Amino acid sequence: MRYLPLTPDDRAEMLGVIGVDSIDGLFVDVPPSARREGFVELPHVAGELEVERELAGLAARNTAAGSVPFFCGAGAYRHHVPATVDHLIQRSEFLTSYTPYQPEIAQGTLQVLFEFQTQVAALTGMEVANASLYDGSTACAEAVMMTKRVTKRNRAVLSGGVHPHYVATTETLARAEGMDVVHLPAAVDAEDAVIAAIDAGTACVVVQTPNVFGTATDVTRIAEAAHAAGALLIVVTTEAVSFGLLKSPGEMGADIAVAEGQSIGNALNYGGPYVGLFACREKLVRQAPGRLCGETVDADGRRGFVLTLSTREQHIRRDKATSNICTNSGLCALAFSIHMSLLGEVGLRRLAALNHQRARALKAALEGVKGVEILTPRFFNEFAVKLSKPAGEVVEELAFKGVLGGVPFSRLAPGAGMDDVLLVAATETVTGEDIKIFASSLAATLSAGGTER
pLDDT of residue 198: 98
Query: Domain segments of the chain: what residues?
Result: 69-81+346-447, 83-339
In angstroms, rounded to a whole number, what is the distance separating the alpha carbons of residues 285 and 48? Answer: 51
In angstroms, rounded to a whole number, what is the distance separating the alpha carbons of residues 133 and 140? Answer: 10
Per residue, the 3-state secondary structure of 366-417, as one string, reads HHCCCCEEECCCCECCEEEEEECCCHHHHHHHHHHCCCECCEEHHHHCCCCC
Q: Helix, strand, coil proportions of the chain in percent (round to 5)?
A: 45, 15, 40
In angstroms, rounded to a whole number, what is the distance separating the alpha carbons of residues 341 and 42? Answer: 44
To the nearest 10 degrees (0 to 180), the angle between helices 136-151 and 164-177 is: 40
Is residue 130 within a helix (H) or strand (E), and if so which, with residue range? none
pLDDT of residue 311: 65
At residue 409, does pLDDT exceed 50? yes
pLDDT bin (cut points 50, 70, 90) of residue 37 is confident
CA 224, 375, 359, 337: dihedral to nearest 10 degrees? 40
pLDDT of residue 314: 58
Average pLDDT over residues 413-417: 93
Measured in whole angstroms, the distance separating CA 54 from the mean position of its chain's CA atoms is 31
> Is pTM beyond 0.85 here?
yes
**Does 69-81+346-447 match 83-339 in CATH topology?**
no
Average pLDDT over residues 328-352: 96
In angstroms, rounded to a whole number, what is the distance separating the alpha carbons of residues 301 and 319? Answer: 36
pLDDT bin (cut points 50, 70, 90) of residue 316 is low
Average pLDDT over residues 20-28: 90
For a pLDDT cut of 90, what percent of the chain falls above it?
80
In angstroms, rounded to a whole number, what is the distance separating the alpha carbons of residues 216 and 223? Answer: 15
**DSSP structure string for 332-356:** HHHHHHHHHHHHHHHHHHHHHHHHH
Adjacent-strand bridge partners of 208? 236
Task: Choose among 217, 209, 158, 166: nearest CA to 185.
Answer: 158
Contact between 89 and 338 under an 8 Å Cβ cutoff? The reply is: yes
Per-residue pLDDT of 113-148, as tens digits, reads: 999 999 999 999 999 999 999 999 999 999 999 999
- Report domain 83-339's class: alpha beta
pLDDT bin (cut points 50, 70, 90) of residue 452 is very low
pLDDT of residue 105: 86
Measured in whole angstroms, the distance separating CA 94 from the mean position of its chain's CA atoms is 23
In angstroms, rounded to a whole number, what is the distance separating the alpha carbons of residues 257 and 200? Answer: 22
Beta strands 382-387 and 421-425 are: antiparallel
Contact between 207 and 223 under an 8 Å Cβ cutoff? The reply is: no
**DSSP structure string for 132-200:** -BS-HHHHHHHHHHHHHHHH---EEEE-TTS-HHHHHHHHHHHHHHT-EEEEPPP-SS-HHHHHHH--T
pLDDT of residue 370: 97
Task: Choose among 352, 210, 356, 337: nearest CA to 264.
Answer: 337
At residue 325, does pLDDT exceed 80? no
Average pLDDT over residues 5-30: 91
pLDDT of residue 99: 78
At residue 312, does pLDDT exceed 70? no
Burial tier of 309 (Cβ tally within 10 Å: 0-12, 13-18, 19+): middle
pLDDT of residue 79: 98
Per-residue pLDDT of 278-299, as tens digits, reads: 999 999 999 999 889 999 998 8
Q: What is the mean pLDDT of the chain?
A: 93
pLDDT of residue 45: 86
pLDDT of residue 450: 53
Burial tier of 325 (Cβ tally within 10 Å: 0-12, 13-18, 19+): middle
Task: Choose among 257, 298, 317: nearest CA to 124.
Answer: 257
pLDDT of residue 101: 78
Superfamily of domain 69-81+346-447: Aspartate Aminotransferase, domain 1 (3.90.1150.10)
Distances (CA, A) of 294 to 73, 305, 336, 394: 35, 6, 19, 51
Per-residue pLDDT of 165-220, as tens digits, reads: 999 999 999 998 999 999 999 999 989 999 999 999 999 999 999 999 999 999 99
In angstroms, rounded to a whole number, what is the distance separating the alpha carbons of residues 28 and 424? Answer: 38
In angstroms, rounded to a whole number, what is the distance separating the alpha carbons of residues 100 and 94? Answer: 11
Per-residue pLDDT of 76-101, as tens digits, reads: 999 999 999 999 999 998 988 877 87
Average pLDDT over residues 23-51: 87
